[in-house]
Amino acid sequence: MNNLTIKTLALCFFSATVFGQWQQSAGTAGLNMQSLLTNGMYNFAGGQTGVYLSSDTSANYASSNNGNDAVGPTRGFTKDNSFVYTCSSQGAYRSSDNGATWVSKSNGLTNLLGGGILNVGIRLFYVGPTGVFMSTDQGENWSAAGLSTTDVRSIAAINDTLFVGTNGAGIYKSVDWGANWVNVNNGLGASLNFRAIESNGNTLFAGGPIGTGVYRSTDFGANWTLLGGGLASGSYRGFASNSQLIVAGSFGAGVFYSIDNGDNWTAINTGLSDLTVFDVELNDSYIIAATNTQGVFRFALSNLNLTTGITNLNPNNSISIFPNPSTNQINVLTDITYHGSSYTILDINGRSVIEGKITARNTIIELDNLSAGTYFLRMGEYSNLTSKFIKQ
């Protein structure tokens, strides 16, 4: 059981108001950019003219194509503990020096045109018009991993479960590293084209075709729901996420972010001169966007007033909530200091939905009457100390 840190929430946490604006990254104006990666202090951007590299939190980029494909689009990046990898129109490339030099690594790929690349543990996966390929030797050799007659455009993983988005066949799932694939399209309707897919914890987000939007699954792809909550209808091409937010880049409507696992979204487009966004990424200080015609932009995370201060109720961190995410109930585990304290559960809009008292070391709170979503447990007199949990 993990102790849950208790976070301080300002009132602005519940507000959709966002200040600040996007800044165009120097060295990228007028460029087509399609993919992004953050690797420590290095930020990579890839597009029609290859790879660009920034070492100053995306303020400035310079071409970084020594050995890389610079005449066709670099459509994806991934990394492991030793290398950074690209997928491009000319296959896979690998760098051991954070982009200073690249080496082609395409042995075994039957079609060099890449749609996405992903590292999962000791395995690399490369997807394209002839399906999925896997490498277990850091790209030295690739072997077919299924869907050979399917045009695969995107890939994500939750632990050892793979998910791919295709052009024309919806979404597929594999639990055996590509030996077998099953179609998981329940809830997608007629949406069959998915150029972006992202995992955030045990939640999946998939970018649907024109006229749809972002789909979400909380049950490993078994069921999908088309999200609203402020998202513009349209095609979505890129996602980025961390423990605080999920960011989505759209084809024509700019960038949106959510702090409640996709239930509600806010547009952040001030200063973004190209609203066709092919990818988004996060570093420690910024959201980064790769656009179709105007290069790379960055947006300071500080503009979002996200929860950054951590305050423990006592030095021993003696309050825990589990399970999280939950289904029918949560357990609130405390020491005797808080017995008799009142609590309030708030919804994402700050409305009280459940109230009660901590009566024992383990207080069980029933959630049957709450709809799925993000909630906050606030402890009585400690009204500025609030914990987030998710009901599925």
For 207, half-sphere exposure in the C-beta direction (CA atoms, 13 angstrom radius) is 29
- CA dist 66 and 83 (Å) reads 15
- At 122 the three-state DSSP class reads coil
Q: How many CB atoms lie within 10 A of CB 381?
A: 9
Digit-coded pLDDT (tens) for 127-149 = 999 999 999 999 999 999 999 99
Q: Inform me whether the pLDDT recorded for 56 exceeds 80.
A: yes
Q: Inform me whether the pLDDT recorded for 184 exceeds 50.
A: yes
Digit-coded pLDDT (tens) for 17-31 = 455 799 999 999 999
Nearest Cα residue to 165 out of 200, 207, 102, 202: 207
Mean pLDDT of the chain: 88
Contacts 24+ apart (CB under 8 A), 257-261: 257/287, 257/304, 258/229, 259/13, 259/306, 259/374, 260/348, 260/373, 260/374, 261/200, 261/203, 261/216, 261/373, 261/374, 261/390
- Give the strand order in the sheet containing 203-207: 196-200, 203-207, 214-217, 225-226
What pLDDT score does 168 carry? 95
What pLDDT score does 336 carry? 66
CB 118 within 8 A of CB 79: no
Tokens of 105: 């690594």
CA 279, 282, 288 angle in degrees (round to 5)? 50
- CA dist 353 and 392 (Å) reads 16
What pLDDT score does 85 carry? 98
Nearest Cα residue to 249 out of 217, 211, 287: 287
Question: Are domains 18-304 and 320-391 of this chain identical in fold?
Answer: no
Higher pLDDT, 291 or 388: 291
Higher pLDDT, 314 or 357: 357
- Place 14 in a pLDDT band, splitting at 50, 70 and 90: very low
CATH number belonging to domain 320-391: 2.60.40.3080
Which of 38-42, 171-175, 249-253, 357-361 is least confident? Answer: 357-361
- CA dist 274 and 297 (Å) reads 10
- CA dist 374 and 263 (Å) reads 8
CB 41 within 8 A of CB 55: yes
For the chain, the structural domain boundaries read: 18-304, 320-391
CB 78 within 8 A of CB 89: no
Q: Inform me whether the pLDDT recorded for 383 exceeds 80.
A: no
**Residue 275 has what DSSP assignment?**
-
Q: Is the peptide bond before 325 cis (omega within 30 degrees of 0)?
A: yes
Separation of first and last alpha carbons in the chain: 19
CB 260 within 8 A of CB 253: no
**Would you say how long the chain is, in residues?**
392
The separation between CA 350 and the C-alpha centre of its own chain, rounded to angstroms, equals 25
- CA dist 85 and 78 (Å) reads 5
Q: Inform me whether the pLDDT recorded for 345 exceeds 60.
A: yes
Span 196-217, average pLDDT = 95
- CA dist 335 and 352 (Å) reads 25
Digit-coded pLDDT (tens) for 297-344 = 999 998 886 643 323 333 334 567 878 888 888 988 776 667 788 888
CATH number belonging to domain 18-304: 2.130.10.10
pLDDT above 90 covers a percentage of the chain that reads 69
